[in-house]
Chains A and B, each alone.
Chain A
Amino acid sequence: MAKRRKTREAAGEMLDGNRSAAVGAKLSRVQVIAAYPITPQTPVTEALSEFVERGELPAQYVNVESEHSALAVCSSASLVGARTFTATSSHGLAYMHEMLHWVAGTRLPVVLACVNRAIGAPWSVLNDQQDSISQRDTGWIQVYAWNNQEILDSVIQAYKIAEATCLPVMVCYDGYVLSHTEMPVDVPPQDAVDRFLPPYKPHTTIEAGNPKNYNLVTLANPRLNADGVLCHGYMEIRYLLQEALEQSTETIAAVGREFGKSFGRSYAGLLWEDGMEDADIAMVAMGSLAMEANVAADSLRKGGIKAGVVGLRIFRPFPKRDLVRVLRGCRLAVVFDKSVSYGNEGAVGNEIKAALYGIDTRVAVRDFIVGLGGRDVKARELADAVKKALASVEGGALSQEKADWICEI
Chain B
Amino acid sequence: MGTRDCGHICGESSPGMGEAGKTGDWRTSRPVIDEERCTPARNHKPACFLCWLYCPEAVISKTIPVRIDMEYCKGCGICSQVCPTHAIAMVEEADSLKDR
**Are A231 and B3 interface neighbours, CB within 8 A?**
yes
Q: Bits for A196-207, please: 1 = Cβ < 8 Å to B, else 0.
A: 000000011000
Q: Which residues of B contact A227 (CB under 8 A)?
A: 14, 16
Say yes or no: is A222 at the interface (Cβ < 8 Å to chain B): yes
Q: Which residues of B contact A229 (CB under 8 A)?
A: 5-6
With CB as the reference atom, state the residue of chain B lying closest to A223: B21
**Are B8 and A232 interface neighbours, CB within 8 A?**
yes
**Are B14 and A215 interface neighbours, CB within 8 A?**
no
A23 smallest CB distance to B (angstroms)? 31
Given the known interface contacts A216-B20, A226-B17, A226-B19, the answer about A231 and B6 at a Cβ–Cβ threshold of 8 Å is yes
Interface contacts (Cβ under 8 Å), in number, total 73
Given the known interface contacts A231-B3, A233-B3, the answer about A240 and B19 at a Cβ–Cβ threshold of 8 Å is no
Q: Which residues of B contact A123 (CB under 8 A)?
A: none
With CB as the reference atom, state the residue of chain A lying closest to B12: A214
Q: Which residues of A contact B17 (CB under 8 A)?
A: 226
Q: Which residues of B contact A166 (CB under 8 A)?
A: 9
Q: Bits for A217-238, please: 1 = Cβ < 8 Å to B, else 0.
A: 1110011011101111100110
**Are A237 and B14 interface neighbours, CB within 8 A?**
no
With CB as the reference atom, state the residue of chain A lying closest to B13: A213
Q: Count of chain A residues with Cβ under 8 Å from any Cβ of B?
A: 30
With CB as the reference atom, state the residue of chain A lying closest to B7: A229
With CB as the reference atom, state the residue of chain B lying closest to A106: B10
**Are B20 and A240 interface neighbours, CB within 8 A?**
no
**Are A213 and B19 interface neighbours, CB within 8 A?**
yes
Say yes or no: is A211 at the interface (Cβ < 8 Å to chain B): yes
**Are A218 and B11 interface neighbours, CB within 8 A?**
yes
**Are A213 and B12 interface neighbours, CB within 8 A?**
yes
Residues on B close to A: CB < 8 A? 1-6, 8-21
Residues on A close to B: CB < 8 A? 105-107, 166, 203-204, 210-219, 222-223, 225-227, 229-233, 236-237, 240, 244
Known: A211-B15, A237-B9. 6 other contacts (CB 8 A): A105-B11, A212-B12, A213-B13, A216-B12, A218-B11, A231-B13
- 14 A–B contacts from the bound complex (CB under 8 Å): A213-B13, A214-B11, A216-B11, A216-B12, A225-B13, A225-B16, A225-B19, A226-B14, A226-B16, A226-B17, A226-B19, A227-B16, A230-B1, A230-B6
